[in-house]
Chains A and B, each alone.
Chain A
Amino acid sequence: MRKLIAIAFLLILGFFMLKIVSVFPFGEERWGVSRHYVDKGIEENRASNLVTSIVVNYRGFDTLGEVTVLFLAATALAFLLATCKCRKKYERIEASLTLKTASDILYPLLILFGAYIFIHGHLTPGGGFQGGTVIASAVMLMLLSHFTFHPNHRALSTIEGLAGIIFVLIGFAGFIWGGSFLANNILPLGHWNRLFSAGVIPLIYIAIGFKVGAELSGLITDMYKVTKEEE
């Protein structure tokens, strides 16, 4: 009965949502303000990846918020689980030698790959968030395969905080020298499709990459550690 009512509610809701999207035919051209980003993006930012151009510059403030959200989540999780007496359910099994060795090899490679992603954020798909996540996955790999692996929490916190501060400071630099917060006119924009181009965008994405990497590593460790401590 409950299920039927729920399904009825949801179908009506879905009907309304379908009604809304039905006025936007799939795949139809419909530009709004983003036409400016597309047509003027290269001129104004020199970042090949227009999504990056939007994420970091045109809507860079959103990204600052986004970074904050992630930071907040990591903080909240660390806070909530700090004193959690969570019960352990499963026995840990020692990882095999193959796995350990493979992880040891993969670990630096993954970090390098992550760094590559966020350094090239303005040229290729991906950026700080994706790169950071890849770095975190490297940490995760080590956590899973090595009992003794324990990322330095202080270092993580410091990197995380510093990277965030650098993001804000770049914004401030724009405020002081460029006339407005996060303005992308304080560094030479360089040439299109080069690594050293797009003004502050790569710098910001690198900061984000470090921050997200440190944050997510910390987050995973925090969640994971609770289990570990009780063994």
Chain B
Amino acid sequence: MVNPILIIAITLASAFFIGILQVYSKLWARLFFFLTLVFDFFAAGANFYGFLSGRITEPILVKIGGFPPPIGINLLVGKPEAAIGFLIFTIALLGAYHWERKGFPEPQGKIMVLFLLLSLGAAGITFTGDFFNLFVFIEITSIAAYGLVASAKTEKSVEAAFKYMVVGSISSTFILLSVVFLYKATGSLNMMDIASRIRNISLTPIYILILLMFLAGLLIELEVFPINGWALDVYQGADPVVVAVLAGAVVKAFYLVFLKAGTYLTLPSFFTLSLIFGGGTYLVSQFIAWRQKDVKRFLGYSSVAQLGLLILSAGFFLNPTLPAFSKHLIGASIVLFIFNHSFAKSSLFLLADNVKSSQLHGWRGILNKNPLFKFIFSTSVFSITGVPPFPGFWAKLLLIFAIPKNCSWVIGLILVGALGEIVYYYRLFREASEGEGEKVGTNLAAPLTGAILLIGAGLVAWKMFATQMGIMFNSTILLLLAFSIAIYILGFSRILQWAGSLAVVGYGIYRMVPEMGANLHGFFLALVLVGSALLLLATYPTSKRTSWTFYPAYLVVVFSMAGLVLARNWLTLFVFWELMSWASFVLINMGSRAKKAAWIYAIFSAIGAYSMLAGIYLLPGLSLTHLKVAGIMVPLLLVTGFLVKMATAPLHVWARDAYGESPDEFTPLLSGIISKMGVFGSLIAILYVIGNISSGPSFRYILGWLGALTAFFMTLIAVFQDDLKRLLAYSSVGQVGYILIGLAIASPLGWNAALYHTVNHFIFKGLLFVAAAGIIYRVGTSYMPRMGGLIRRMPLTFLSTLVAIIALAGIPPISGFAGKWLLYSALIEKGWIFITVVTFLASTVAFLYCFKILHSVFLGQLQEENSNVKEVPFPLAIVEAILFVSLGVLGAFPRLLLDPINRVFAGIPGMESPGFHYEKTLGVVSNLGHWNALFLMVFFVGSFLLALIFFAITSARVKKVGQLDVGYSGEVPKSPEDLHFGYGLYDHFRKAVKWFIYPMVTKIWEGIYEWISAFAEIVRRIYTGNVNTYAAYVILISIIIFYFFTGVK
């Protein structure tokens, strides 16, 4: 234990000493400065460690001058104070180091004194147990801060310092007056003493007024909306290093005072006040930031928002009606939030210090040129926006689950705000990863430390809190996730990484075999692992473009899916869900034109995840068992998350570009397996929450319609795509619509159909995307009018595509037919006639795009530029062959798949009988009819062979012409559009259905975005930049607080 007075006294003495030293030697002054900071760091660290390890149990009470509490000034350092003290000196040390490397402004000695005293003041604010002493330390901190904010001596920084000074003076006047009033009212200045005296006096309105005055002063320093204009200006105008320390350390000291005020001063309206100001600040700031073009100010809005969330948490934390466990959780969440925000935001500001321009467009593309910068930036952004496993995620989770159910609207507020945060942070991400940027500064050691600490803290939080929340992790999955990250070090050779990944997945399959099997989880686990292994095989790194982080992220996606399907409670599922979503965000963002797509994907993932989280919060229990819920709200929220991944209308907006522009190696996984996690989720949601199968048809009916409409419209839009991957994207979304219909029917037959189609869709869509990846790799474009005639160059790919398309279209004899047959049987049996009609229409339209693929890519004339393309690379060909064969086999022997599915459902009450049975001659028999797959297979293959022989005989008479051998009237056709006979294939059809394919939903979403932006634009005008106005807001808000929260009228 280090006596806290020593920290303060030694720092002070050395500040004075540096004052002398700097006159004589700058070097010594600098040395001494760092020596002091290092001492403070270790001293504060020793105290904090003492509390953590349990060596110090009681709060340290320091009697200055030897006088006991009410007489003299005391320092009171308990666990929270020790923690914040340590945080302050850590951030200060990092900031000082960063500044040293960047070069202190002249005169250096002075600025070092200011810096030292700023951190000292913050520590004093934290440690002191006396209100007037608090005021003195606030003044020390403020004056040092005014000087430091102005230290850049630019127009902006000086202006910011002036505004800060004016508003800060009003704040300290409030604090001083209220402290003196408090002394008059209670006769003491000591916090503990006042706390005990307050209990003995009645809370008259005047008394409350005094407390409110103190709180008003504090709220100014805590940057609540709308009296935070000064703070935003400081964030924008001051040197980023100063801002990093202010936002990372100083504000946290003020926050601790806020907590102490709430604890000691027993203000009756504390809860309401913190809810209003914290929640309001949080929500408003998260949206105002949308229109912000200056990165530093934008980070400022985010800081303010985070602080608002902390204030809101404080209200709950100090609410006496909260149960002990929830209090514990909120306490933990506050600690994590503080830690998370301090390090992530400091890192971001220090990063911003390395970038020349603070404008958004000045950040364009800088991530692509600076790998270390990218690492720190992504870590910080992920942590702030609450991506697992970073501390921000755990903080949010703990907070949400600690909030009592009767305040559930607060959850809504938190999640909506978090969504706003996602929108603007990932817009920065998008901007920073778009195109080629310039090199930035290399002063990255301090932010790097911050990022590493964040990762460490996230893992510690995972270990500490996950089990407390009831989140259980399969240890094998964790091991595999660790392996996934470890693959990163093989990045010097992509091939090695690929092989390593295969080995890891192989090992995963080997370890997981006992888990796979005859239940829902095991079934999906098998799909995930085996399917991913196959698709991973096809990612053979043929191109140099593959990013160093591709394989680690890919494996994280795979194993988080494995963890997800193995989850036995909703929260575990959610954690893995988020992990999967954000890892796939990373992967999508690797596509060179996918930045916008990745942004939209992030937003929609967040919409899904947060509504899912709200749903989970509202569930009566967390385990995956039958839960009774009332109303439609919970299932709706819960299912929305899954529908987003399935890209069901109206949540499909992200899908086209995310599928179309994500790296070709990744799209098969995205379409083939990740979307199936939505299927899994919906299935268990319907199974456990939406009720047992016979009840609650109305909600399921809506789901059925969503599925049908998705199937219909997406299929229709797919027809008009000229981009191969986009066509497949829409097709994918449409196909998943069918699965949703099957799920919604929730009869044995329907679920059999759904699962059958799930596997089947994985096979044929995986195959199609792998083939597409191969074709695009060879041809160099995904634009179909630039292809054509590839049948001769890529016979294997053609054949497998053909079979996949037959499967897709649901034509016998390939396996697709079985799915369709089961689905229609289920629909008719259920009696959802209209849905049946729509579905049928959709699958008819699907023929059009199926044909288009064959027609535009493989048939017709070979383009000249493609005259020497080869078959797809060997690993891809293997995958194609495997999938191709499995399609055929399943087509002939559907029982190979139907039997496992039956066994999956055998354990579920009401699902024991699959709704059909087998007969030797008739094959599969249901109430509506029967079909014999093997017979069909033999019949069709026979017919196909006959036709083939016929064409082989007649093809001798076909005359071949060169591509340019065409008779246009004098014009020379140049563009591929003119030369491609499949171009504009469905133009007439398009005219006929143009009202159906108008992108209405997209327009609606864009409209929502625009409206919120416009609203943000209006709201942010209140920050006029005029200090008179800022001061007026302060007075206005104060009198509003005084008026509404006391009895004085």
**Can you list, as one digit per residue, whether each of A56-85 has a CB less than 8 Å from chain B (1) or not (0)?**
011111101110110111011011101100
**Can you list, as one digit per residue, whether each of B148-188 has a CB less than 8 Å from chain A (1) or not (0)?**
00110100000000000000000000000100010111111
Complex Cα distance, B177 from A39, in Å, reads 26
Complex Cα distance, B150 from A80, in Å, reads 7
CB contacts (< 8 Å) of A158 on chain B: these are: 20, 23
Complex Cα distance, B61 from A181, in Å, reads 12
A59 pairs with B1039, CB closer than 8 A: no
Complex Cα distance, B23 from A160, in Å, reads 12
**Can you list, as one digit per residue, whether each of B43-83 has a CB less than 8 Å from chain A (1) or not (0)?**
00000000000000000001111110011110000000000
A/B interface sample: 16 pairs, CB < 8 A: A9-B1039, A21-B181, A36-B71, A65-B133, A65-B139, A69-B140, A71-B19, A71-B113, A75-B110, A80-B153, A160-B20, A161-B18, A162-B16, A164-B13, A181-B64, A183-B66
CB contacts (< 8 Å) of A182 on chain B: these are: 64-65
Tell me which of B33-41, B217-225, B1030-1038 binds A: B1030-1038
CB contacts (< 8 Å) of B139 on chain A: these are: 65, 69
A33 pairs with B147, CB closer than 8 A: no
Within 8 Å of chain B (Cβ to Cβ): is A132? Answer: no
Complex Cα distance, B64 from A175, in Å, reads 9
A10 pairs with B107, CB closer than 8 A: no
B140 pairs with A61, CB closer than 8 A: no
B23 pairs with A154, CB closer than 8 A: yes
The one of A58, A65, A154, A160 that contacts B136, using a Cβ cutoff of 8 Å: A65
**Can you list, as one digit per residue, whether each of A6-26 has a CB less than 8 Å from chain B (1) or not (0)?**
100110110011011111100
Interface size on B, residues (CB 8 A): 71
The one of B66, B114, B1035 that contacts A180, using a Cβ cutoff of 8 Å: B66
**Can you list, as one digit per residue, whether each of A33-66 has a CB less than 8 Å from chain B (1) or not (0)?**
1001100000000000000000001111110111
Minimum CB–CB distance for A73 against chain B, Å: 6
Complex Cα distance, B188 from A32, in Å, reads 6
Within 8 Å of chain A (Cβ to Cβ): is B137? Answer: yes
Q: Which of B190-244 contact A (CB under 8 A)?
A: 190, 193, 204, 206, 209-210, 213
Q: Which of B1021-1049 contact A (CB under 8 A)?
A: 1028, 1032, 1035-1036, 1038-1039, 1042-1043, 1048
Complex Cα distance, B1036 from A36, in Å, reads 40
The one of A9, A64, A65 that contacts B1036, using a Cβ cutoff of 8 Å: A9
B23 pairs with A153, CB closer than 8 A: yes
Minimum CB–CB distance for B112 against chain A, Å: 10
A66 pairs with B136, CB closer than 8 A: yes
Minimum CB–CB distance for A210 against chain B, Å: 12
Name the residue of chain A whose CB is nearest to the CB of B190: A33
The one of A19, A33, A178 that contacts B66, using a Cβ cutoff of 8 Å: A178
Within 8 Å of chain A (Cβ to Cβ): is B9? Answer: yes
**Can you list, as one digit per residue, whether each of A154-195 has a CB less than 8 Å from chain B (1) or not (0)?**
100110111011001101101100111111110000000000
Most buried by A among B16, B18, B117, B146: B16
The one of A2, A22, A184 that contacts B65, using a Cβ cutoff of 8 Å: A184
Complex Cα distance, B5 from A60, in Å, reads 13
B73 pairs with A59, CB closer than 8 A: yes
The one of A22, A23, A58, A162 that contacts B67, using a Cβ cutoff of 8 Å: A58
Known interface pairs A30-B187, A80-B150, A157-B20; 10 further A-B residue pairs with C-beta atoms within 8 A, sorted by A's residue number: A13-B1038, A17-B177, A22-B206, A62-B132, A62-B133, A75-B110, A76-B110, A80-B147, A164-B12, A181-B64
CB contacts (< 8 Å) of A9 on chain B: these are: 1032, 1035-1036, 1039
Name the residue of chain A whose CB is nearest to the CB of B20: A161
The one of B18, B70, B144, B209 that contacts A72, using a Cβ cutoff of 8 Å: B144
A168 pairs with B1039, CB closer than 8 A: no
CB contacts (< 8 Å) of A59 on chain B: these are: 72-73, 132-133
The one of A57, A83, A161, A181 that contacts B17, using a Cβ cutoff of 8 Å: A161
Within 8 Å of chain A (Cβ to Cβ): is B143? Answer: yes
Name the residue of chain B whose CB is nearest to the CB of A168: B13
Complex Cα distance, B64 from A179, in Å, reads 9
Q: Which of B108-132 contact A (CB under 8 A)?
A: 110-111, 113-114, 117, 120, 124, 132
Within 8 Å of chain B (Cβ to Cβ): is A90? Answer: no
The one of A6, A17, A68, A154 that contacts B12, using a Cβ cutoff of 8 Å: A68
CB contacts (< 8 Å) of A33 on chain B: these are: 70-71, 187-190, 193
B187 pairs with A75, CB closer than 8 A: no
Within 8 Å of chain A (Cβ to Cβ): is B865? Answer: no
Minimum CB–CB distance for B625 against chain A, Å: 56
Complex Cα distance, B1042 from A5, in Å, reads 18
The one of B72, B111, B137 that contacts A65, using a Cβ cutoff of 8 Å: B137
The one of B107, B1028, B1039 that contacts A12, using a Cβ cutoff of 8 Å: B1039
Minimum CB–CB distance for B191 against chain A, Å: 13
CB contacts (< 8 Å) of B133 on chain A: these are: 59, 61-62, 65
Within 8 Å of chain A (Cβ to Cβ): is B448? Answer: no
Q: Give the number of A-B contacts (CB < 8 Å).
A: 190
Complex Cα distance, B24 from A21, in Å, reads 52
Minimum CB–CB distance for B744 against chain A, Å: 59
CB contacts (< 8 Å) of A37 on chain B: these are: 71
B13 pairs with A68, CB closer than 8 A: no
Within 8 Å of chain A (Cβ to Cβ): is B106? Answer: yes
B143 pairs with A76, CB closer than 8 A: yes
A16 pairs with B151, CB closer than 8 A: no
**Can you list, as one digit per residue, whether each of A97-112 has a CB less than 8 Å from chain B (1) or not (0)?**
0000000000000000
Complex Cα distance, B64 from A37, in Å, reads 15
Complex Cα distance, B17 from A24, in Å, reads 45
**Can you list, as one digit per residue, whether each of A200-227 has a CB less than 8 Å from chain B (1) or not (0)?**
0000000000000000000000000000
B66 pairs with A179, CB closer than 8 A: yes
Minimum CB–CB distance for B479 against chain A, Å: 53
Minimum CB–CB distance for A209 against chain B, Å: 15
B188 pairs with A75, CB closer than 8 A: no
Question: Sorted from nearest, which 10 A-B pairs have the closest CB atoms?
Answer: A32-B187, A76-B147, A164-B16, A161-B20, A79-B110, A65-B136, A168-B13, A180-B66, A161-B19, A183-B66
Complex Cα distance, B929 from A185, in Å, reads 104
Name the residue of chain A whose CB is nearest to the CB of B118: A72
A174 pairs with B16, CB closer than 8 A: no
B65 pairs with A169, CB closer than 8 A: no
Name the residue of chain B whose CB is nearest to the CB of A183: B66
CB contacts (< 8 Å) of B181 on chain A: these are: 20-21, 24
Minimum CB–CB distance for A135 against chain B, Å: 18
CB contacts (< 8 Å) of A30 on chain B: these are: 184, 187
CB contacts (< 8 Å) of A179 on chain B: these are: 66
The one of A22, A72, A83 that contacts B147, using a Cβ cutoff of 8 Å: A72
CB contacts (< 8 Å) of A6 on chain B: these are: 1032
A168 pairs with B206, CB closer than 8 A: no
Minimum CB–CB distance for B163 against chain A, Å: 16
Name the residue of chain A whose CB is nearest to the CB of B10: A168
Minimum CB–CB distance for A1 against chain B, Å: 12
Minimum CB–CB distance for B446 against chain A, Å: 22
Complex Cα distance, B112 from A79, in Å, reads 10
A16 pairs with B1039, CB closer than 8 A: yes
- Beyond A153-B23, A180-B64, A181-B62, is A68–B117 a contact (Cβ under 8 Å)? yes
Within 8 Å of chain A (Cβ to Cβ): is B15? Answer: yes
CB contacts (< 8 Å) of B16 on chain A: these are: 71, 160-162, 164-165, 168
Minimum CB–CB distance for B230 against chain A, Å: 18
B106 pairs with A61, CB closer than 8 A: no
Complex Cα distance, B1040 from A16, in Å, reads 11
Minimum CB–CB distance for A38 against chain B, Å: 12
The one of B15, B71, B106 that contacts A71, using a Cβ cutoff of 8 Å: B15
CB contacts (< 8 Å) of A185 on chain B: these are: 66
- Beyond A33-B188, A79-B107, is A60–B20 a contact (Cβ under 8 Å)? no
B13 pairs with A157, CB closer than 8 A: no
Minimum CB–CB distance for B155 against chain A, Å: 13
- Beyond A62-B73, A79-B111, A184-B65, is A13–B12 a contact (Cβ under 8 Å)? no
CB contacts (< 8 Å) of A171 on chain B: these are: 9
Complex Cα distance, B204 from A209, in Å, reads 44
B23 pairs with A58, CB closer than 8 A: no
Complex Cα distance, B65 from A173, in Å, reads 11
